[in-house]
Structures are given as structure tokens and as C-alpha cells.
Amino acid sequence: MLRWISTAAQPMGSLPRKAFVVSPLRVFAHCSSYELLRGAAVLTVCSQPGLVKRSERLLELSDRMLGCTVTDVLMRHTVFAHFVAGEDASTIVPTLQSLRENGVGGILDFAAEADLDLETCKAADVNQPARSYRYISQAVCDANMRTFLSAVEAVHATTPEGFAAVKVTALGDAALLERVSTALVELRAFFDALDSSRCGMLSRDAFLRGWCAAFDVDSAEAAAAFANIGADADGDVDYSEFMNSLPLQDVGPLVRRCRLHGPLYHSALDTSECSALDAMLARLEMIATRAKALGVRLMIDAEHSYFQPAIDHAVLHLSRKYNRDYPCIFGTYQAYLRDCHQKLELDLDRSRREGWHLGAKLVRGAYMVHERERAISLGYPDPVQPTLEATHASYDKAVDTLLLHCPCPERTSLMVASHNQASVERVAALLLDDGSRVPRDQVFFGQLLGMSDHLTFTLARLGLKTYKYVPYGPVREVLPYLIRRAQENSDALSGAAEQRDMMLAEVRRRVIGR
């Protein structure tokens, strides 16, 4: 059962707790007995590691033996019904209304996912451009944009102060996102190469020397490039200033003057790729503009690490425009990635200096198995924390940074997207005892629909801002999402047995009448 808290601003790892008993009667008051029994059965299956590990194989076996139609019917009335609200923005309305009646908001999550084929990645030089994009995918991206716009409308109609989750891979070609990410990584490497002193800043002299060495330019042209950056009063240039002055669309013409055709030269986007990037950003802009007009917040989901620099680039672009008066745009920080804290510190500094609100969704991460397999296969360093304990420490450090040491708490908002009971308790402790620098109404909690109800509804009853991730989409497109959640979200499934037992206890109470 949920333990609870009775302390003020103490170090996050040493919060004393007192027992807090969660009543199944209150937690599951909104559920019918049939829904409780179905949920208990589904959670029983999901808590079996062997079945979860083989879920894709079992699904394929069912398709072969029973046929896809029968398999879809079975999934629709079991796993899909428990974890997914419906197939489109209209069929999810009853679920959102039920949550709202219980003080819980909704985060609409269109649950289709995209990825690059690993064999294709193996065959390609990661520094070589992936030049061809199927224009049919642009039409699909436009259709996905309309789906997200429908989600924004549904949030506005049913969930005040709600969120709509957006996947950037649904709005742009996956190969393009990897290309953009590669270009951003190489630009960072170029800055680091110019920063020979490793101090994180470029003096005018260091910039001029590095620029003339890298490009076929004279000193006057290098000086003009430095002036274009717009250094601070101290006359130095940091990474944020460097990147602000050198948008990806301008790198192509610049690298034509490279003295050596190295990684930066090969990573530069060509004209068609720049057009595709502009189209992707335009789709995001349309969604963000509509969300801003309706008072709906957008949560940009994290995805695979090799897409993430492009996604972070898009989030920064949107935040600078739409987060001036409140955080309409939330980016995602994955604690299981080794660079999580570096990214968080950089964005906090950017938001402080540039005067916009930072919206941060903090998760542990959900692509660990795939990330490690891909790193081994393609021969690059594992981007994931080495142990679960290291991931927990990374998560706690990010929470400390945002809630205890935040440079601009009035312009910072946090979504604690976690099923980890200890993490939820520790954040709630700070909020309930006024131990956080960030105001309580700027901190949110989020759990998946169908999971950790004892956390979600207890937090809501205590007056904390709490949300459920509400996945939706066609059955076949959502099943891969559900399988990945089951296979890689161990924090959520570790509480499945407890929630199942609470569900059965509530059914017994209803049967015997007490």
C-alpha cells in the first residue's frame, strides 16, 4: 500500500514516512465489477515475465492459428480494453469524462510508433546522407497531424488544463530525424573542436583560429561570422549562442567551403532535406498554434536516442515561441540516458537566459533493450545508464535540480511521469510540506491508463495535479506500443500484482456487501 509523508525540505533520499492506507473502495469506485475482473486477469498475464517476453511471438502464433480478425477481437476485449481508451478521438471521450469526475486529467497519447530498420542502419554509413524520402510518407505525416489536432480538440472539450502527447516520428520521416540528429551531433562536435581549452566558451581569437582552419575563408570573413553570432557582453560565445546563430538549414552552404570533407561535411542537410525538416516543423507549429489557442498543453514524447537530438531541436524551437507566458510545450527527459542531466541543465540555462517557461516531463525511459542491442550491433557506446540503481540516481538528481535547485522556479513546470512509488512519494513530500521551490500547481504526476491506480487516485484525492496517459489508436497500431510498455516498463509492472489484488478485494467487498 502507499506509504506517505510527514516532512519538509529534507534531502530527497532521507524522507521519513508514515503509513497511508489506500482504500480499494475509493480507488476503484469508478469501475464496474466486470472491469475489475477483466483488469485483474489482464494484470495477472502482464505480471508473468515469460509471457511478456514472448508476447510478440504469441501474437504472431495467434494470427496464424486463429486469424488476424479473431486475434483482434480477443485483444480488443482484453488487453486493449484495459490499457487503451479507444481507436479515435471520439471513442475515448467516456474514459476522459470518467477520469475528470475523479479529479484526474488526461494526457491523450496517439500510440502508433515509428523506427528505422536495423538492417538498413547496418548497411549505411552513419555519416552519409539518407537522401531519398518517399513522398507518400509526407501524406501520412499530414494525416497524423490531423489526428493530433483532433486530440487537442478532444482534450479541450473534456479535460481542462489537459495535455496532448505528440510523437515527432509521426510527423516526419524516420530517416530524416536520424539525419537531423546526426547533423546536430556533428555541430556539437565541431563546437567542441573549436573549444580547444574545453571551458565551454569560445573567445574571439579561438573562434577565428578554428574557423579559418576549418573553412576556406579569410580572417575578415571569419570575423564577420563571429560578429553574426552575437556574443554576450563578455565577448565569448557559448554552445547555445553558437547553435542559435547557425541553424541547420544554413550548414549546407557553409560546409561547401570545408577544407576537409569530414563528419560535419557529410552530415549537412541538402536542399530536399531542409525542405522536409521545414515541413515537419510546420506540422508541429500547426498543432502548437491550435493547442495554444485552446489552452491545451503539448507533451512531446521522447523516442529512440538516435532520433532524440532532432526531437529536442524541435522542442526548443517550439518552446521559444509558445512558452513565453506559460509552459504550453513540455519536452521529455529520460533518466536512463547518460546525457539526461547535461541536457536538463542546458535547457534550464537556455530558458532562464531567453525568458521562456521550461516544461519538463521526467521519465526513466522505455527503450532500454532496443537501445543496447542497437549500440552493440552498430558499434557505438551504450547510451543507457549501466544499472537500474544508476537510473534511479539519475532520476533523483533531475528531481533535485528541478524542485530544489531550480534557477527560475516561477518559470519551471515538472511532470513526474513515473510508476515508481518511491519517486512519487518523495516528490509529493516536497509539495505537501512546501519543501519545493517550484509551486505546487506547477508540478504534475502521470501514470499509464490501467496501471498504478492506487497512486493516481490517491494523489488526486490529496489535491495534487494528477493525470493518466490515455493511449488511443487502431488495435493493430497500438499493440506494438503495449508490448513495448510491458517488456520495458518494469516499474509499472512491478506493481501489477498489488493492483490486481486490490481489484479482487474490491470485487469481494461488493459481493459480500461490506
Report the Cα 86 to chain-centroid distance in Å: 22
> 125 or 381: whose pLDDT is higher?
381
Q: Which of helix, strand or coil describes residue 179? A: helix
Average of per-residue pLDDT across 456-478 = 90
- 387 contact partners, CB below 8 Å, separation of at least 6: none
Cα three-residue angle 89-297-466, rounded to 5 degrees: 85
What percent of the chain is modeled with pLDDT above 70? 88
State pLDDT tens for residues 100-141.
Answer: 989 999 998 877 555 545 454 444 443 333 333 333 468 888
What percent of the chain is modeled with pLDDT above 90? 39
Residue 201's pLDDT is 85
> Is the Cβ–Cβ distance between 79 and 43 less than 8 Å?
no
| CATH for the stretch 187-267 | 1.10.238
Mean pLDDT in the chain? 84
Local confidence band at 473 (pLDDT 50, 70, 90 cut-offs): confident
Cα Rg, the chain, nearest whole Å: 24
State pLDDT tens for residues 196-206.
Answer: 888 888 888 88
> Is the Cβ–Cβ distance between 100 and 158 less than 8 Å?
yes
| Lowest-pLDDT range of 8-12, 59-63, 213-217, 418-422 | 8-12
pLDDT at 7 over 50: no
Cell of 175: 530517416
Residue 112's pLDDT is 59
State pLDDT tens for residues 305-326.
Answer: 888 999 999 999 999 999 999 9
The structure's pTM equals 0.85
* Domain 85-177+275-490, CATH among 1.10.275.10, 3.40.50.1820, 3.20.20.220, 3.90.25.10: 3.20.20.220
Concatenated DSSP letters for 239-300? HHHHHHHS-HHHHHHHHTTBSS--HHHHH---HHHHHHHHHHHHHHHHHHHHHHHHT-EEEE
Local confidence band at 231 (pLDDT 50, 70, 90 cut-offs): low
For the chain, the structural domain boundaries read 85-177+275-490, 187-267
85-177+275-490 matches 187-267 in fold: no
> 95 or 359: whose pLDDT is higher?
359
Cα separation, 109 vs 165, whole angstroms: 5
Local confidence band at 468 (pLDDT 50, 70, 90 cut-offs): very high
Residue 341's pLDDT is 94
Q: 374-388 burial by CB neighbour count: b if 16+ within 10 A, else e?
A: bbeeeeeeebbbeee
Residue 238's pLDDT is 84
Average of per-residue pLDDT across 14-24 = 50
Average of per-residue pLDDT across 61-67 = 91
Report the Cα 455 to chain-centroid distance in Å: 21
Concatenated DSSP letters for 82-93? HH--BSSTTTTH
> 73 or 485: whose pLDDT is higher?
73
Q: 463-494 burial by CB neighbour count: b if 16+ within 10 A, else e?
A: ebbbbbbbbbbebeebbebbbbbbbbbebbbe
Residue 74's pLDDT is 92
Place of cell 518523495: 426
Residue 84's pLDDT is 93
> Is the Cβ–Cβ distance between 491 and 420 less than 8 Å?
yes
Local confidence band at 11 (pLDDT 50, 70, 90 cut-offs): very low
Cα separation, 426 vs 423, whole angstroms: 5
pLDDT at 81 over 50: yes
The DSSP code for 390 is H
Residue 409's pLDDT is 95
Local confidence band at 241 (pLDDT 50, 70, 90 cut-offs): confident
